[in-house]
Amino acid sequence: MAHQNILSSLENNITTITINRPSKLNALNQATIAELHKAFKEADENKKTKVIIITGSGEKAFVAGADISEFADYSVSQGEKLAAEGQAKLFDFVAHLSTPVIAAINGFALGGGLELAMAAHFRIASDNAKMGLPEVSLGVIPGYGGTQRLPQLVGKGRAMELIMTAGMIDANQALQYGLVNHVTTPEELLPLAQKLASKISGNSTVAIAAAIEAVNAGFEDGENGYEAEITQFGKCFGTADFQEGTQAFLQKRKANFPGK
Ligand code: COA
């Protein structure tokens, strides 16, 4: 069935998922979260997809947050369920995908929008982008992983300030903080995302999946990232991609990875 709130297209081994509710600044309602879950899952399971780009439609917003109109009258238990289900279906789900996910932030990335961008494996932004976690201005806190991922990315003090002030930073400040890796003009945003994606897609997909798992392990409770790295490193030696990558190097040719 066609999606109502998102667009998804596959070209040159890159799946681009676009959140498409521009009249609501692409705010994440439950229906959109469910569609995003489905689209990310399908892209991850499709062998043709080597990289996923997530972006927002229109010139104004990536995502202006969770849809406030949906949860304004929620109770304590409904609030807890909203955060738990959202994290499981979308934010943790994206962070743990084995297909690399690049967030191309094309405008406001606020609340759940910044949390979605932070769940992606890395971020780039257009120079009109504005980022923040304004939840305390609504009497709530970030509930889709923001209190954890923002300090991981920018440091505890900067995260505390951004969360407590409910302020916004612009793209250049985000670049300086290390929250985004590159800043471009709005016109160059998707071309840059595609260029990075195409560079990634020339490498071994199984090795990239192993790298994502090892990097993530260092941020998981009760996991030892160094041990995860040793396990993933060892596993690579049993893959056809490793055979191809090392043989291609020794034979002075470009590797053509089978992806297994
Ligand atoms: N949830 C629900 N609807 C939202 C939304 C959100 N998070 N963010 C924007 N919208 C809606 C507005 O209600 C408005 O809808 P309407 O035209 O039917 O009234 C539409 O999107 C356009 O937003 P508007 O506020 O008119 O645009 P603006 O340019 O004046 O302001 C923002 C832009 C991003 C500063 C402002 O929309 C905003 O503060 N949004 C909420 C951000 C937030 O607190 N996010 C965290 C949520 S937990």
| pLDDT above 70: percentage of residues in the chain | 100
Note whether 182 and 212 are same-domain residues: no
Whether residues 103 and 221 fall in one domain = no
Whether 255 maps to a domain, the answer reads: no
Query: Quick one: 96 and 193 in the same domain?
Result: yes
**Per-residue pLDDT averaged across 69-82, rounded?**
96
Mean pLDDT of 207-224: 95
Are both 92 and 30 inside the same structural domain? yes
Give distance in angstroms: CA of 7 to centre of ligand 1.
21
- Residue 234: give the domain boundaries: 205-250
Residue 226 falls inside a structural domain: yes
Whether residue 256 lies inside any domain: the answer is: no
114, 26: one domain? yes
Tell me, in angstroms, the distance from the centre of ligand 1 to residue 25's CA: 6
State the helix-helix crossing angle for 205-217 and 225-236, rounded to 10 degrees. Answer: 170
Work out the pLDDT band at 1, boundaries 50, 70, 90. Answer: low
65 lines ligand 1 (CB under 6 A): yes
Whether 45 is catalytic: no
* Pair (114, 134) in one structural domain: yes
> Are 134 and 229 part of one and the same domain?
no
Same domain, 219 and 197: no
Does some domain include residue 170?
yes
Could you give the number of structural domains in the chain?
Answer: 2
Q: Which among 42, 45, 70, 115 is annotated as catalytic?
A: 115
Answer yes or no: do 170 and 242 share one domain. Answer: no
DSSP symbols for the chain: ---SSEEEEEETTEEEEEE--GGGTT-B-HHHHHHHHHHHHHHHH-TT--EEEEEESSSSEEE--B-HHHHTT--HHHHHHHHHHHIIIIIHHHHT-SS-EEEEE-SEEETHHHHHHHHSSEEEEETT-EEE-GGGGGT----SSHHHHHHHHH-HHHHHHHHHHT--EEHHHHHHHTSSSEEE-HHHHHHHHHHHHHHHHTS-HHHHHHHHHHHHHTTSTT--HHHHHHHHHHHHTTSHHHHHHHHHHHTTS-------
Domain identity same for 196 and 214: no
Check whether residue 177 and residue 226 sit in a common domain.
no
Looking at residue 221, what is its pLDDT?
86
- Would you tell me how many other CB atoms lie within 10 Å of the CB of residue 62? 30
User: Is 259 inside any structural domain?
Assistant: no
Q: What is the mean pLDDT of residues 58-68?
A: 96
Residues 176 and 224 placed together within one structural domain of the fold: no
Q: Which residue CA neighbors atom 40 of ligand 1 most closely?
A: 64
